[in-house]
């Protein structure tokens, strides 16, 4: 296949030249990086990456191809994709197409053949910043004009862009093995067929594996749009409420913060990622933007309650300010890389949350116990 040239320009003027990867055209967004060696399909389809151009640090991407069972949402969610080298001929019995074909099919513009190590070092030093990938315009000044029009991630509400249009009941069609679960890890099959717990999941950009794991832990899940009111959510008389992951600046999702304030104390609440940050903001804490975020599947987190170290899957650019948390909230988990808050629990209310992804996808299963914690809280 003939190589088509492509260009990546960062907001600070740093320029990278490579070749087109995926669809032809132009795309822009915040350039960040993910350190996972595998899991690129889950990363592509994770709504938390909406508005972002993701750089993979592993040099070869696409080795095991793409299959329809491992997507985490209705399609590719990120704005663009950057790799060192695409694997054009994948090798895996589950593969149905190559990653390049998948990107072209979904209309996602990417770039390959650049020095991704240099790019990642630059982001680590200067911080995550907006960038633009183009296979059609190679004029520096023209691209810089376009780049200046791209909104900053700070203050950006992206939950409305990725949430569902209306509420729906999750119908699980995945086998236990598809979730990486063993029979002894979950409740009896009879309980799975007739889930005893009714959960209202607020969709700020929810991943399907969160829904699968709630189902396999005995929950009948109704998913609500991010803008749903407390009255709408409580109308189904849920046993518990899940605040999902999602993209953007949590402080900008004011409608969700106000809704969670109304829900606090009325039903058990479990927050994940953006849901964790929204819960903290509803408790009158503050959040701030990290320099380059946490994105990968090997981040060590210490459970302050047990002393155990969990290896976690993470994807976020904001975090909770520990000094802003009220006295009636305990910090339950800490990030061992930079000592940021990874989990919290209310002392007097049935509510807790974690910054990382206990459903993984991709990633380890160290934190799956949190779904049991949620079920026990509903009991």
Spatial neighbors of 283 by CB under 8 A, at least 6 apart, are 264, 325, 326, 329, 346
Contacts of 99 (CB under 8 A, 6+ apart): 40, 41, 61, 62, 65, 66, 86, 87, 90
What is the pairing mode between strands 15-22 and 5-10? antiparallel
Of 179, 342, 359, 365, the catalytic one is 359
Q: Would you call the peptide bond into 363 cis, given omega within 30 degrees of 0 as the criterion?
A: no
Residue 181: CB atoms within 10 A of its CB come to 18
- The full 3-state SS of 155-181, as one line of letters, equals CCECHHHHCCCCCEECCCCCCHHHHCC
Question: What is the C-alpha to C-alpha distance for residues 45 and 102, in angstroms, rounded to an integer?
Answer: 11
Sole residue written with tokens 């039903």: 267
Let me know if 219 is a catalytic residue.
no
Reference 304, options 336, 268, 278; nearest CA is 336
Task: Report the alpha-carbon distance of residue 310 to residue 325 in Å, rounded.
Answer: 23
Which residues contact residue 65 at a Cβ distance below 8 angstroms, ignoring those fewer than 6 apart?
A: 90, 91, 92, 94, 95, 96, 97, 98, 99
Q: Residue 149 CB: number of other CB atoms within 10 A?
A: 9
Active site residue 359: yes
Nearest CA among 86, 108, 115, 87 for reference residue 18: 115
The catalytic residue among 42, 273, 316, 342 is 273
Among candidate residues 122, 294, 316, 357, the one labeled active-site is 357
- Residue 27: phi and psi, rounded to 5, are -150, 155
Tokens describing residue 191: 């309980």
In the annotation, is 126 catalytic?
no
By annotation, the residues acting in catalysis are: 273, 357, 359
């Amino acid at each position: 296949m003939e190589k088509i040239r492509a260009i990546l320009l960062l907001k600070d003027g740093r320029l990278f030249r490579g070749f087109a990867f995926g669809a032809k055209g132009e795309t822009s967004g915040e350039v960040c990086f993910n350190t996972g060696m595998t899991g690129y399909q889950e990363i592509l389809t994770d709504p938390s990456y909406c508005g972002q151009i993701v750089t993979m640090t592993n040099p070869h991407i696409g080795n095991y191809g793409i299959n329809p069972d491992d997507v985490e949402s209705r399609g590719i969610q990120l704005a663009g994709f950057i790799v060192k080298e695409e694997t054009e001929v994948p090798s895996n019995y589950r593969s149905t197409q190559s990653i390049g074909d998948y990107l072209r099919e979904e209309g996602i513009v990417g770039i390959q053949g650049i020095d991704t190590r240099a790019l990642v070092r630059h982001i680590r030093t200067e911080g995550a910043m907006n960038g633009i990938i183009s296979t059609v315009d190679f004029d520096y000044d023209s691209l810089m004009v376009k780049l200046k029009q791209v909104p900053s991630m700070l203050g950006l509400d992206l939950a409305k862009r990725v949430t569902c249009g209306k509420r729906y009941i999750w119908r699980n069609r995945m086998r236990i093995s598809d979730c990486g679960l063993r029979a002894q890890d979950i409740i009896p099959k009879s309980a799975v067929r007739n889930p005893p717990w009714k959960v209202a999941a607020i969709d700020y950009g929810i991943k399907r594996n969160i829904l699968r794991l709630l189902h396999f832990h005995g929950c009948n899940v109704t998913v609500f749009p991010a803008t749903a009111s407390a009255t709408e959510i409580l109308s189904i008389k849920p046993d518990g409420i899940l605040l999902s992951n999602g993209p953007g600046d949590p402080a900008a999702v004011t409608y969700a913060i106000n809704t969670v304030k109304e829900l606090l104390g009325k039903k058990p609440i479990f927050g994940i990622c953006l849901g964790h940050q929204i819960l903290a903001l509803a408790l009158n804490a503050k959040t701030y933007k990290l320099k380059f975020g946490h994105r990968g599947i090997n981040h060590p987190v210490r459970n302050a309650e047990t002393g155990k170290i969990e290896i976690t899957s993470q994807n976020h650019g904001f975090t909770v300010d520990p000094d802003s948390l009220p006295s009636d909230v305990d910090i339950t988990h800490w990030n061992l890389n930079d000592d940021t808050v990874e989990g919290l629990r209310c002392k007097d209310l049935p509510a807790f949350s974690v910054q990382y992804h206990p459903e993984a996808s991709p990633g380890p299963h160290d934190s799956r116990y949190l779904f049991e914690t949620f079920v026990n809280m509903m009991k």
